[in-house]
Chain A
Amino acid sequence: MSELPINAGLVLAALLFLTGLLGVLIRRNILFMLMSVEIMFNAAGLAFVLGGAKWGEADGQVMLIFILAMAAAEVSVGLALILQMHRLFKSVDSDVLSIMKD
């Protein structure tokens, strides 16, 4: 097995994370925001796996499994909330929710 290009991997993870963050910040559609959050999760997971590989420890992969489990749970809650939002506001625009500040 050849040497893993850690730096390249980390750059990929950073790019993925930034993509996700930008997606969350720019998109107003709440579904897309949820998807962007998933991308950020996976970027973090990738960084963990890379770290685990570099030091030859299983911890990184364990963390990835945690992240996947949590992401699954988060998506189920998130989708339920989005459904509810769609029902109440007839919209998936996150800015519509700003009326809840009062």
Chain B
Amino acid sequence: MVTQLWLIPAFPLAGFLILSLFGTRLPRKMVPLIGVGVVGVAALITIITGIDFLQHNTAGYFVEQHLWTWFSIGSFSPEMTLHLDALSLCFIFVITFVGFLIHLYSAEFMKDDKGYSRFFAYINLFIFSMLTLVLANDLLLLYLGWEGVGLCSFLLIGFWYNDSVDAEKNAYAARKSFLITRIGDTAMILGLFLLVKDFDTLNISTILNEAPNVWTANSSEAVWAAVLLLGGALGKSAQLPLQTWLPDAMAGPSPVSALIHAATMVTAGVYLLARTHVLFSLAPSIQLLVAIIGAATLFIASFSALAQHDIKRVLAYSTISQIGYMFLALGVGAWSAAIFHFMIHAFFKALLFLAAGAVILAVHHEHSMFKMGGLRKKLPVVFWTFLFGSAALASIPLVTAGFYSKDAILWYSFAGTNGSVWLWLTGIVAAFVTSLYTFRMVFLTFFGEEKTPTHYKPGLAIKIPLIVLGILSLVAGFIELPHNFGHFTPFSDFVSTTLPPVSLLANPAAGETVLQVLAGVLALVGVWLAWQLYIKKPEPLRQFKYGSGAGLFRFLHDGWKFDQLYDVVFVKPFVWLSKIDRRDFVDRIYGAVGFFNVAMNVVFSRTQNGKLRYYLLGIGIGAFIVLTIILAL
């Protein structure tokens, strides 16, 4: 099994190379065959590897495949080594399996696009980079993948950069996402420098083993390393205060939103924190900060989702909020709960984005939910799968996967030794809001009267991913039941070989069952309230929205005005500074270099007169001078 590990990232890479080099020359039918096929093969190998892995999985078990040494400077020699353990297996399973379904969907979704092969080339490169990220044995290799996915995200958000209507907006969104994640990436690379300084290596296992010996808990190095790595994770995972790029990233095609901005790339931060969990255990204050950031983000984002018109922006804010839950879980030390929620979230959020993409395609690229409605009868498959995904997002009790994963997080944030009532309270309020905005979206899109006629029926390549993910959104939660439901916890047993278990308070203030009932009732109340407000009696809310509550709606719609805040605090002063500093001294230096080059060009181009004898004279004089110098020395 060691020998086949490298094939998993190699196939998407091969797909990228073939499509980027020969994509436009290949017959159009071959493009999806290669683009989807390579990821399908990677998914198959992953499943075979996974089955093999499960038979050996005991505490601390991992598999490594050394490919080659990247480079060697003194004692620092990062390696190209793939590392497979329970944590990375979860991630590569989601990346290849969900990735394959999304590729399949794209084969039909992007069918009429000019950049068909370009799309598959980018998205294959993305799968390769993401696999590198999670399989890396070395933080430097992880960083390579980390930047790779950032690049693909940039390319795919701006995929329609020459769109006739939205070219400017799409390019702006791509730049924004790239620049804001770059802030996090800079913090992260500084963190890596710090680790190299103290450990002389970036090998993850070595660092995790030695960190408790080299650093004492709460020492300033440990705190700084944790803060800087957290900075990287915040940028990538769109958490406070770097969350503003994700809603704009919806400018990309829907499959991209599903794959990169919901299922995989934005959870890279969760992966990084889970992978380096030892460092965070050494810096408890930063771990608490992770929990607080997660709680604040999920709270803010879920309220923002409540006031959006664009169906994809609702889902974007909901993604920010759900990753907030994962950060909350990481912050309270419930590592396995975070990974569990990551997996379930990947299923239902990918499903929701894909279904939303199908809806948008059906109503002539209309994004506003208020112009949809009544699509239940027209798109039955999309409706039912969207309903399943929404139920999982709203964590409707007992029957959906989202209930089990979110319940675990809420329980640990309440009863874990690092948890607190406040974290739990934020989580449960946001869970209620989640259910409200989710079913607001469902009711506005699929119920009520029809406002835009549909002109499109999804084909098989769109239906199959929707159905598979729909089923998973319902049943995938059964692999990890809450403790009061009996001791059936295969998932946390599985990842416990890599991640430490969560420590619980001896006697928490309330029982798990009480909290579950509360969460379940709140979720159902949210659905009922959405039905009342948007279908039964929409009038009072409409009056509030355009009357006294207009300011509030505006505030929430703009994502708590973070963009405007950053615009005033950072962008405007920077633009102003660069304006007044247009002709500074440094510019003069570079200007002089340019001027000198131009002047020399004028002088030397005179000497090129085309007369052979002058050239020969030049050679002769040159040889004479050189000889004189040699003889004189």
Residue-wise interface mask of A (11-41) relative to B, using a CB-CB cutoff of 8 A (1 in contact, 0 not):
0000000000100111010000100000000
A99 proximal to B (CB < 8 A): yes
Within the complex, the shortest CB–CB distance from B566 to chain A, in Å, comes to: 55
Q: Could you tell me if A97 and B610 are in contact, using CB atoms closer than 8 angstroms?
A: yes
Cα-based distance from A13 to B613 in the complex (angstroms) = 22
Q: Could you tell me if B609 and A98 are in contact, using CB atoms closer than 8 angstroms?
A: yes
Contact partner of B616 (CB less than 8 A), chosen from A24, A28, A98, is A24
Neighbouring A residues of B620 by C-beta, 8 Å: 21, 25
B612 proximal to A (CB < 8 A): yes
How many A-B pairs have beta carbons closer than 8 Å: the answer is 29
Neighbouring A residues of B617 by C-beta, 8 Å: 25
B611 proximal to A (CB < 8 A): yes
Q: Could you tell me if B613 and A28 are in contact, using CB atoms closer than 8 angstroms?
A: yes
Neighbouring A residues of B611 by C-beta, 8 Å: 94-95, 98
Q: Could you tell me if B613 and A94 are in contact, using CB atoms closer than 8 angstroms?
A: yes
Neighbouring A residues of B610 by C-beta, 8 Å: 97-102
Q: Could you tell me if B609 and A94 are in contact, using CB atoms closer than 8 angstroms?
A: no
Secondary structure type dominating chain B contacts? helix
Neighbouring A residues of B219 by C-beta, 8 Å: none
B608 proximal to A (CB < 8 A): yes
Cα-based distance from A21 to B619 in the complex (angstroms) = 11
Residue-wise interface mask of A (74-102) relative to B, using a CB-CB cutoff of 8 A (1 in contact, 0 not):
00000000000000000000110111111
User: Which residue on B lies nearest to A37, using beta carbons?
Assistant: B616
Neighbouring B residues of A94 by C-beta, 8 Å: 611-613
Cα-based distance from A97 to B614 in the complex (angstroms) = 13
Within the complex, the shortest CB–CB distance from A86 to chain B, in Å, comes to: 16
Q: Could you tell me if A101 and B613 are in contact, using CB atoms closer than 8 angstroms?
A: no
Q: Could you tell me if B609 and A101 are in contact, using CB atoms closer than 8 angstroms?
A: yes
List which B265-324 residues lie within 8 A (CB) of chain A. none
Q: Could you tell me if B616 and A101 are in contact, using CB atoms closer than 8 angstroms?
A: no
List which B555-614 residues lie within 8 A (CB) of chain A. 608-613
Q: Could you tell me if B612 and A101 are in contact, using CB atoms closer than 8 angstroms?
A: no
Cα-based distance from A99 to B608 in the complex (angstroms) = 11
Cα-based distance from A99 to B610 in the complex (angstroms) = 7
- Most interface-central of B611, B613, B620 (chain A CB within 10 A): B613
User: Which residue on A lies nearest to B617, using beta carbons?
Assistant: A25
Residue-wise interface mask of A (27-60) relative to B, using a CB-CB cutoff of 8 A (1 in contact, 0 not):
0100001000000000000000000000000000
Within the complex, the shortest CB–CB distance from B623 to chain A, in Å, comes to: 10
Neighbouring A residues of B608 by C-beta, 8 Å: 101
Cα-based distance from A77 to B620 in the complex (angstroms) = 23
Within the complex, the shortest CB–CB distance from A20 to chain B, in Å, comes to: 11
Cα-based distance from A64 to B383 in the complex (angstroms) = 91
List which B612-633 residues lie within 8 A (CB) of chain A. 612-613, 616-617, 620
Neighbouring B residues of A28 by C-beta, 8 Å: 613
Within the complex, the shortest CB–CB distance from A10 to chain B, in Å, comes to: 14
Cα-based distance from A26 to B617 in the complex (angstroms) = 10
Cα-based distance from A15 to B429 in the complex (angstroms) = 101
Within the complex, the shortest CB–CB distance from A88 to chain B, in Å, comes to: 15
Cα-based distance from A24 to B619 in the complex (angstroms) = 12
Given A98-B610, A99-B610, A100-B610, 20 further pairs, Cβ under 8 A: A24-B616, A25-B613, A25-B616, A25-B617, A25-B620, A26-B613, A28-B613, A94-B611, A94-B613, A95-B611, A95-B613, A97-B610, A97-B612, A98-B609, A98-B611, A98-B612, A101-B608, A101-B609, A101-B610, A102-B610
Residues of A within 8 A of B (CB): 21, 24-26, 28, 33, 94-95, 97-102
Residues of B within 8 A of A (CB): 608-613, 616-617, 620
Q: List 5 A-B contacts (CB under 8 A).
A: A24-B613, A33-B613, A94-B613, A99-B610, A100-B610
